[in-house]
């Protein structure tokens, strides 16, 4: 295998698997391990997902959580948000590998004749493609550590070839260069009040049957795992009790690296892989302490409404929530989120007022389609007129323009062409397709995606916030403010304070007669981190904090 020949033996592989149940937080666990190492080493995360989609770009957020967009335009799993925030890296789309992408690569190779007439089989051909990809990323990035998270749980049909490829890889690079970490669940059943180790034992047994023997077990539990339970798990899983780590429930995910550090994970990695990287988390620890203190004794509590149509699964807006947490830590505030389903308030002014009663700030995040948009427009009108601090993101900006066009500029038929159907055509399309998007039929990876430069207007609120005349943010959209209506909207009072660097695309809008009414075509939440909060979120909370 060419990629194995190019592997220089310097990269260490840490492979994270999960068992018992899904949703335990493998992404956070993997990112937390990386956070303990990234102060000194170059840690590159790779996510292996078993689904047959090429990427998550076409998935409904209520099924799989938010689609996270990378600077290079890749649409990837939401766990990449944890990787970037915890490891301080700018991830690449090739660090994401789905089984759909693996099969696509294999079929392309077969059609080219790369297999020289051989029968194409799951083993070795599928597993070889997976290993080749991991070696390629490790070599290209010159990674000190390749942190590989295998999605799903042990026993899932979809991830079996990733697990088998990982087993093969561990033998190819040598045990001194590869180790496995397994995340499991230690429940405390109601009425029993005792930590149960059996699910962990069964999960590890399933992994052992596949030829993998984890050397760190992280037991997710609502409390720290008791010493005698650690001993019991270690006995059944062939591990010292010290290698059984408490993945205790915490209020904020940013506490997890600190828990792992206290549980001795850095020492285990040093002993096992000979990698010494003292965690550099001093600033991190101070901000986490602020978050924890404000859970109990906050200086002030703000209620922020997130208004969307995907509220049945809060992970649909995971990065928005995290951006609020980041900003709150820097402003010494506690943020309580109120979820507003925009479909339920449509055409009901009383419901709109009731849903925003007592709210200190409002966010209308990104989205697609016609469902729930009239509710969003009515909510935006309410916050504009009532002077409630407001941040619109992507679709939230587009609908803020629609609302302003209708209710301030007098364009009663104003709308977005996104709602057009065979029987309905928008009368005044203030939001329209980006040039070249009208004829696109395929849905995946066809939008305006990834990082783009934004030029900021001098003297604007946006310039005050960013303290710069040029910024770079991440985008995921197919529609824009229609250039034909820009002058009319500006005459009505909208300030388009951010534009694309090389295209006539409006990127930021703001109102001057409002404490904080700002909307952007990009997704500022995707670049926010605990250390460096997104400026638009920081100023939204600052405006809410200063509001009488």
Task: Spell out the alpha helix ranges (H) of 356-421.
Answer: 373-385, 395-407
CB atoms within 10 A of CB 458: 8
Rounded to 5 degrees, φ, ψ at 328 are -65, -35
Q: What does the DSSP assignment read for 152-203?
A: S-TT-GGGHHHHHHHHHHHHHH-GGGEEEEEEEE----TTT-S---HHHHHH
Rounded to 5, what percent of the chain is helix, strand, coil? 45, 20, 35
CA angle (537 as vertex; 536, 538 as ends), nearest 5: 90
Using the structure block, give the residue that is written with the tokens 């995907």: 310
Residues 261, 267 contacting (CB under 8 angstroms): no
Three-state SS letters, 471-509: EEEEEEECEEECHHHHHHHHHHCCEEEEEECCCCCEEEE
Contacts of 198 (CB under 8 A, 6+ apart): none
CB neighbour burial string for 422-451, b if at least 16 within 10 angstroms, e if fewer = eeeebebbbbbbeeeeeeeeeeeeebbbbb
CB atoms within 10 A of CB 394: 22
Residues 417, 401 contacting (CB under 8 angstroms): no
Query: Cα–Cα distance between 437 and 447 in angstroms, integer?
Result: 8
DSSP, collapsed to helix, strand or coil, labels residue 423 as coil
Using the structure block, give the residue that is written with the tokens 């060419």: 2
Using the structure block, give the residue that is written with the tokens 């088998």: 164
DSSP conformational letter for 453: E
Residues 204, 19 contacting (CB under 8 angstroms): yes
List the catalytic residues.
394, 523, 525
DSSP, collapsed to helix, strand or coil, labels residue 432 as strand
What strands, in cross-sheet order, belong to the sheet with 428-433?
Answer: 414-416, 428-433, 479-481
Range list of β-strands (E), 317-360: 334-341
């Amino acid at each position: 295998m060419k990629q194995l020949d190019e592997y220089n033996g310097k990269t260490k592989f840490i492979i994270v698997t999960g068992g018992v149940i899904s949703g335990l937080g493998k992404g956070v666990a993997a990112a937390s391990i990386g956070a303990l190492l990234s102060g000194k080493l170059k840690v590159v995360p790779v996510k292996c997902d078993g689904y047959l989609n090429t990427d998550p770009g076409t998935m409904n957020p209520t099924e799989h959580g938010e689609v996270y967009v990378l600077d290079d335009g890749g649409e990837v799993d939401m766990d990449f948000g944890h990787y970037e925030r915890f490891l301080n890296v700018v991830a690449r789309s090739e660090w994401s590998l789905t089984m759909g992408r693996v099969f696509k690569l294999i079929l392309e190779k077969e059609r080219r004749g790369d297999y020289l007439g051989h029968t194409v089989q799951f083993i070795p051909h599928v597993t070889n493609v997976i290993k080749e990809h991991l070696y390629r990323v490790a070599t290209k990035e010159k990674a000190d550590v390749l942190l590989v998270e295998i999605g799903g749980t042990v026993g899932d049909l979809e991830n079996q070839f990733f697990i088998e490829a990982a087993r093969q890889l561990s033998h190819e690079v040598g045990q001194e260069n590869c180790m496995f970490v397994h995340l499991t669940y230690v429940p405390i059943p109601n009425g029993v009040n005792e930590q149960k180790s059996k699910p962990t034992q069964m999960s590890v047994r399933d992994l052992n049957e596949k030829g993998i023997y984890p050397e760190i077990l992280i037991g997710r539990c609502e409390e720290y795992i008791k010493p005698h339970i650690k001993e019991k798990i270690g006995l059944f899983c062939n591990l010292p009790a010290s290698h059984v780590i408490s993945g205790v429930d915490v209020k904020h995910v940013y506490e997890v690296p600190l828990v792992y550090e206290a549980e001795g994970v850095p020492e285990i990695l040093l002993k096992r892989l000979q990698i010494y990287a003292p965690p550099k988390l001093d600033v991190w620890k101070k901000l986490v302490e602020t978050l924890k203190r404000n859970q109990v004794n906050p200086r002030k509590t703000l209620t922020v409404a997130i208004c969307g149509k995907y509220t049945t699964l809060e992970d649909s807006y995971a990065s928005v929530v995290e951006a609020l947490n980041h900003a709150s830590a820097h402003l010494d505030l506690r943020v309580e989120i109120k979820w507003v389903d925009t479909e339920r308030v449509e055409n009901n002014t009383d419901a709109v007022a009731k849903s925003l009663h007592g709210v200190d700030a409002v966010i209308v995040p990104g989205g697609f389609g016609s469902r729930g948009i009239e509710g969003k427009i009515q909510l935006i009108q309410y916050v504009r007129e009532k002077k409630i601090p407001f941040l619109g993101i992507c679709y939230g900006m587009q609908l803020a323009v629609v609302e302003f066009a209708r209710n301030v500029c007098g364009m009663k038929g104003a709308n977005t062409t996104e709602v057009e159907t065979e029987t309905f055509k928008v009368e005044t399309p203030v939001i329209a397709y980006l040039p070249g998007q009208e004829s696109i039929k395929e849905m995946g990876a066809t939008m305006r995606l990834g990082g783009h430069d934004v030029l900021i207007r001098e003297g604007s609120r946006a310039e005050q916030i960013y303290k710069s005349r040029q910024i770079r943010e991440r985008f995921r959209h197919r529609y824009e403010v229609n250039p034909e209506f820009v002058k009319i909207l500006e005459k009505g009072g909208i300030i388009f304070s951010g534009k694309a660097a090389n295209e006539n695309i409006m990127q930021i809008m703001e109102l001057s007669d409002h404490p904080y009414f700002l909307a952007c075509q990009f997704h500022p939440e995707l670049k926010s981190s605990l250390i460096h909060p997104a400026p638009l979120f920081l100023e939204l909370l600052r405006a809410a904090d200063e509001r009488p």
